[in-house]
Amino acid sequence: MKGTGKWTVQQAVDLSVAAPIIAGSLDSRFLSGLKEEKVEAAKVFKLGGFDYILTNQVVDKAKLIDDVRQALYASKNCSYAQGMNLIRAKSIEKGWDLKLGELARIWKGGCIIRTILLNIIKKAYDRNPELANLPADPKFAKEIIDSVYLSDRSGTRYFAMKIIDKASPAGFKQKMRLCSY
């Protein structure tokens, strides 16, 4: 396997920086290639009587779509936090003195990863240039909390975020704790 995901995870290991969502994405890539194994596992679940779990559920599709969208947004927030923390660690190791808020501004202006979330990241570093990790910034943390927990009386967003993160061995609760590391 080659590519950015592999290199990023290798750097995280080398720098002792936790990056469970980024590693989980790489794990998902590995797992996606196991179609025959997944087909066989589905047969076992069906034979074991577990196929009803997903097939007999009444689902509010509009709410499910919104919940998954919000869970994905929270997961992206944590992924950005891990990536910025990895860049921060490498900058410290190499003595580069990178300005993370400035990097977010530059990326917003023309990089393939342009997103409105970069504005939130830049503002977090503008408020505190020495910010050790993004979820330590109250407004950034509020983005995560609002997208996962608020207006979610049924717990569907929380469950959807678990599904999004299912491939990582680190586990969901650990990811939420570590999304800043």
Q: What is the DSSP string of 128-150?
A: -TT-S-GGGSHHHHHHHHHHHTT
Give the model confidence (pLDDT) of 115-165 as tens digits. Answer: 788 889 999 999 999 998 888 898 888 887 777 665 555 565 555 555 555
Residues 130 and 136: beta-carbon distance below 8 Å: no
Q: What is the pTM of this model?
A: 0.70
- In this prediction, residue 101 carries a pLDDT of 93
Would you place residue 173 in the very low, low, confident or very high pLDDT band (cuts 50, 70, 90)? very low
Residue 104 has pLDDT above 70, yes or no: yes
Would you place residue 97 in the very low, low, confident or very high pLDDT band (cuts 50, 70, 90)? very high
- In this prediction, residue 152 carries a pLDDT of 54
Residue 54 has pLDDT above 90, yes or no: no
Would you place residue 175 in the very low, low, confident or very high pLDDT band (cuts 50, 70, 90)? very low
Residue 98 has pLDDT above 90, yes or no: yes
- In this prediction, residue 181 carries a pLDDT of 38
Residue 84 has pLDDT above 90, yes or no: yes
Tokens of 30: 């590995």
Would you place residue 169 in the very low, low, confident or very high pLDDT band (cuts 50, 70, 90)? very low
- In this prediction, residue 99 carries a pLDDT of 95
Looking at per-residue confidence, does 25 or 90 come out higher? Answer: 90
In whole angstroms, how far apart are CA 86 and each of 10, 32, 61, 69, 99? 11, 26, 37, 26, 13
What does the pLDDT average to over 63-71? 81
- 3 state SS of 97: coil
Residue 59 has pLDDT above 80, yes or no: no
Q: How far apart are alpha carbons 178 and 168 in whole angstroms?
A: 13
